[in-house]
Amino acid sequence: MRFVFGLCAAVILLAAMPVDSSAQSVAQVNTIKVAADKVDAYLAGMQKMMVLYEQVVPAVEMRIWRSSIAGTTSGLLTVVTEFESMEAWAEGTSMLSAHSEYQPLIKELEATDRVMVSVSLATEITP
């Protein structure tokens, strides 16, 4: 619930920005803490999530990164999901969350005891 509330708040804040971000790429950036012995299980669950994304929102690009030389944040995973625009993000996340396979996959990821450290939306501003 906090995750959905946070995403809604981010959309409202981004919508209030004076820049026309609707035509610019949007990246949802999730930073996740997963115990070292559960990373493989988490990645297996994310592989299934990536397949679901490809079926439901084929234009999305999703990549997973692990921080290595990052001080106290070493070992955190960052899941970056890039959408073509803010509208594509809103439509895609809505379609995905309504899909019958989505909640079971979320439960599978939760079983890895992962902790969502942060969730943010970033709008590309490359000139």
Cα separation values, 52 from 60, 93, 107, Å: 11, 12, 15
Q: Which long-range contacts (CB under 8 A, 24 or more apart) does 102-108 make?
A: 102/52, 105/45, 105/48, 105/49, 105/52, 108/45, 108/48
Q: Is 105 exposed, middle or buried (0-12, 13-18, 19+ CB in 10 A)?
A: middle
Identify which has the larger pLDDT, 31 or 74: 31
**pLDDT tens digits, residue range 58-96?**
999 999 999 998 888 889 999 999 999 999 999 999 999
State the pairing for strand pair 115-123/61-66: unpaired
**Amino acid 34: pLDDT:** 97
Helices (H) and strands (E) in the chain, counts: 4, 4
Contact by Cβ (8 Å): 78, 65 = yes
- pLDDT score of 8 more than 60: no
Q: Residue 32, Cβ neighbours under 10 Å: how many?
A: 21
- pLDDT score of 5 more than 50: no
- Tokens 């396979």 locate to 101
Q: Can you give the CATH number for the domain in which 42 is found?
A: 3.30.70.100
**Amino acid 70: pLDDT:** 82
pLDDT band of 22, cuts 50, 70, 90: low
How many domains are there within the chain? Answer: 1
Domain around 44:
2-123
Q: At what angle do helices 86-98 and 39-56 cross, to 10 degrees?
A: 110
Percentage with pLDDT > 90 across the chain: 75
**pLDDT tens digits, residue range 93-116?**
999 999 999 999 999 999 999 999
